[in-house]
Amino acid sequence: MCGIVAYTGKQSAREVLIDGLKRLEYRGYDSSGIAILNSPPYWVRTVGKVAELEQRVWKDAPSGVVGIAHTRWATHGKPSENNAHPHIDCTGKIFLAHNGIIENHLLLRKQLSASGHTFRSETDTEVLVHLIESLYKGDLEAAVRKALLRVQGTFGLAVLHAAHPGQIIVARRGSPIVLGIGEDESFAASDASALARHTNQVVYLEDNEVARLEPGRFSITTLENRAVSRDATTLEVGPEAMERGSYPHFMLKEIFEQPEAVENALRGRVNHSEGVARLGGLESVQDRLQEARHLIIVSCGTSYYAGLFARYAFETLTDLAVETELASEFRYRKLNLRQNTVVLAISQSGETADTLAALREAKRKGALVLGLVNVVGSTIARETHAGVYSHAGIEVGVASTKSFVTQITILTLMALLMGRTRDISYEEGATILRGLERLPDQIREILKQSDAIRELARKYCNYSHFLYIGRKYQYPIALEGALKLKEIAYIHAEGYAAGEMKHGPIALIDPAFPTLAIVPEDGSYEKITSNIQEIRARDGRIIAVTTSGNTKLGTLVDDVIEVPHNHELLMPILTVVPLQLFAYHCAVLRGCDVDKPRNLAKSVTVE
């Protein structure tokens, strides 16, 4: 949730670090800070967005060539200058930026305070810098290693010492760190997007590893000081993936990238001649998939709604018993995990702490654990037995859009793959594949309505409450549409299974509580039309998302958004797009910070 960037080389560190922080800001953004080695070292922290720090740095930072910087999303201690990173030791020589949580910080703080260390912040992180100070005997790397052996919890961190100019020590356990190696310069960051502008040669640290960076060089050891040999790999994303281009917001850019994202998600994965999906990442576990009887899907937020969609998709296409569970609740359930149980973790970032904890629990109990992840090389991708990448490309906007659309596209492919080895016919498989391939152009058609949806948003954006309803495949889309409106436009919105409406929420309906009904002409069309009538009878205003050419809704609804026809299982991949646009336009019209909604972070690495 927080971001780290570190640099040692020949360029002015402040430029590299501020640019890196801006690229990481989407991960968390309530305060930030920077330390540059100079004589004396330069150290500044500010509350608010990176722009605040940038102003300070341009005003008074020296042009040193070594430094670390951090953008924070508060967990322990409110956003304040004192709580922002980097933290500093008592001698004023050691600087440390940290992502993750130090679980035994209270005990360590007590011990360090008793031996005379002075704490300046309320954070768990600060114990680390004092612990390193207490163990430092002239070798920074050794002190960091020793300190980390005494720490319980997770960390991705970067440390500087004024007595070791040119050297940066980084380490990781449970919170990513990637090294970037250039000519006579080295970088480290919590996310490769901060490095892509400078180098495409990267090295991913594994858990419990420590790296020493010097200009153009690196060495890696384990916490126990065993040397690790690892070559750099070439980064696949270019720096342009992090640019907004002519779009006013990353979220809009990412909504408009969805046709290509779906094309990428499908590329090489469609086997027309067999009417089946081809997912190379699952080949190694083909036999266990064949024996599977029970599927449990774990995920959070938007990825959880993708999981809810998958429950319907797998139940439609396979004979598996399917459950979808919030990753944060998974550990509280006494699920009967057997040899023939498959657990599927879905995550855009691949770093979500709850999802990671759920998959570790499932592994412990012997289940086959699969991943559907967007970020290549992320922790979830590495810890699952096998999996599939969603290939949505970097998603910077905090609200998930293209990653959701690619997730539900690939979940359909996964269900089809398993269904075709069970009881789905070639013809049924081939029909779904043809439908999938029509999606990119159909999404392009929907995107052409963006201006019309903005006008609709103008009409509705001042309402304080919304109800979103859908049935069957569209129920998860109602939940997702409502989440988008809540998180970026700060409008209270409830997603409901349409059939549940009369069991409570209908009491809320009045002219000031509009409903967004997702009603493509599918198998549940008649039933949801009855629900719309019930709302109408109570003077509720209704926007309907329906299939093109449906004139039957008539005066039953106030406004209509049309989407093209496709197989009913695939309609969610279309109906969600206008809901994303509606939330986006409402947010812009209400003056909200669309790409960085308040209190949220892109990657939620705390439980």
Give how many residues touch ligand F6R by CB under 6 A.
14
Task: Check residue 524 for interaction with ligand F6R (CB under 6 A).
Answer: no
Choose among 518, 559, 558: nearest CA to 536.
Answer: 558
Catalytic residue, chosen from 22, 49, 484, 602, is: 602
Position of minimal CB gap to ligand F6R: 301
C-alpha–C-alpha distance, residues 255 and 448, integer Å: 12
Catalytic residue, chosen from 2, 300, 461, 586, is: 2
Task: Check residue 8 for interaction with ligand F6R (CB under 6 A).
Answer: no
Q: Cis (ω within 30 of 0) for the bond into 511?
A: no
- Smallest distance from ligand F6R to CB 605, Å: 10
Binding mask 483-502 for ligand F6R (x = CB under 6 A): x---x---------------
Residue whose structure tokens are 């039933």: 527
**What is the three-class DSSP state of 475?**
helix
2: annotated active-site residue: yes
Query: Which residue's CB is nearer to ligand F6R, number 61 or number 177?
Result: 177
Residue 71: partners with Cβ closer than 8 Å, 6 or more residues away: 2, 3, 21, 24, 25, 27, 28, 29, 31, 32, 50
Which of these segments, 73-81, 154-162, 294-302, 496-504, binds ligand F6R (CB under 6 A)?
Answer: 294-302
Q: Cis (ω within 30 of 0) for the bond into 514?
A: no
602: annotated active-site residue: yes
Asked whether the beta carbons of 430 and 275 are under 8 A apart, the reply is yes
Task: Check residue 604 for interaction with ligand F6R (CB under 6 A).
Answer: yes
- Smallest distance from ligand F6R to CB 391, Å: 15
Query: Which residue's CB is nearer to ligand F6R, number 9 or number 156?
Result: 156
Query: Which residue's CB is nearer to ligand F6R, number 2 or number 483?
Result: 483
Task: Check residue 400 for interaction with ligand F6R (CB under 6 A).
Answer: yes
Task: Check residue 570 for interaction with ligand F6R (CB under 6 A).
Answer: no
- Smallest distance from ligand F6R to CB 372, Å: 9
Positions 12 through 41 that interact with ligand F6R (CB under 6 A): none
Task: Check residue 378 for interaction with ligand F6R (CB under 6 A).
Answer: no
Query: Which residue's CB is nearer to ligand F6R, number 400 or number 524?
Result: 400
**Torsion of Cα atoms, 16 then 18 then 23 then 27, to 10°:** 130
Please give the full DSSP string across 400-415, using - where no structure is assigned. Answer: -SHHHHHHHHHHHHHH
- Smallest distance from ligand F6R to CB 398, Å: 6
Given candidates 264, 348, 515, 524, which one binds ligand F6R under the rule CB under 6 A?
Answer: 348
Angle, helices 571-589 vs 426-447, to 10°: value is: 20
Q: What is the β-pairing status of strands 87-88 and 94-99?
A: antiparallel
Q: Report in angstroms the alpha-carbon separations of 186 from 254, 504, 599.
A: 31, 59, 32
Given candidates 154, 355, 384, 566, which one binds ligand F6R under the rule CB under 6 A?
Answer: 355
Task: Check residue 352 for interaction with ligand F6R (CB under 6 A).
Answer: yes
Question: 518 forms bridges with which residues in the sheet?
Answer: 545
Please give the full DSSP string across 509-573, using - where no structure is assigned. Answer: -STTS-EEEE--SSTTHHHHHHHHHHHHTTT--EEEEEETT--TTGGGSSEEEEE----TTTHHH
- Smallest distance from ligand F6R to CB 502, Å: 28
Binding mask 297-316 for ligand F6R (x = CB under 6 A): ---xxxx-------------
Query: Which residue's CB is nearer to ligand F6R, number 363 or number 567?
Result: 363
Given candidates 99, 316, 324, 347, which one binds ligand F6R under the rule CB under 6 A?
Answer: 347
Continuous segment of H or E residues that includes residue 497: strand 492-497
Residue whose structure tokens are 């940290």: 98
Amino acid at 464: S
Where do the DSSP E strands lie in 48-125? 66-72, 87-88, 94-99
Query: Which residue's CB is nearer to ligand F6R, number 303 or number 442?
Result: 303
Amino acid at 296: I
Asked whether the beta carbons of 78 and 30 are under 8 A apart, the reply is no
What letter does residue 85 receive in the DSSP assignment?
S
- Smallest distance from ligand F6R to CB 167, Å: 33
What letter does residue 488 receive in the DSSP assignment?
H
- Smallest distance from ligand F6R to CB 337, Å: 21
- Smallest distance from ligand F6R to CB 347, Å: 3
**What is the three-class DSSP state of 498?**
helix
Given candidates 32, 324, 349, 390, which one binds ligand F6R under the rule CB under 6 A?
Answer: 349
Where do the DSSP E strands lie in 331-425? 341-347, 368-373, 386-389
Query: Which residue's CB is nearer to ligand F6R, number 1 or number 295?
Result: 1
User: Hey, which residues are catalytic here?
Assistant: 2, 602
Site residues (vs ligand F6R, CB under 6 A): 300-303, 347-349, 352, 355, 399-400, 483, 487, 604
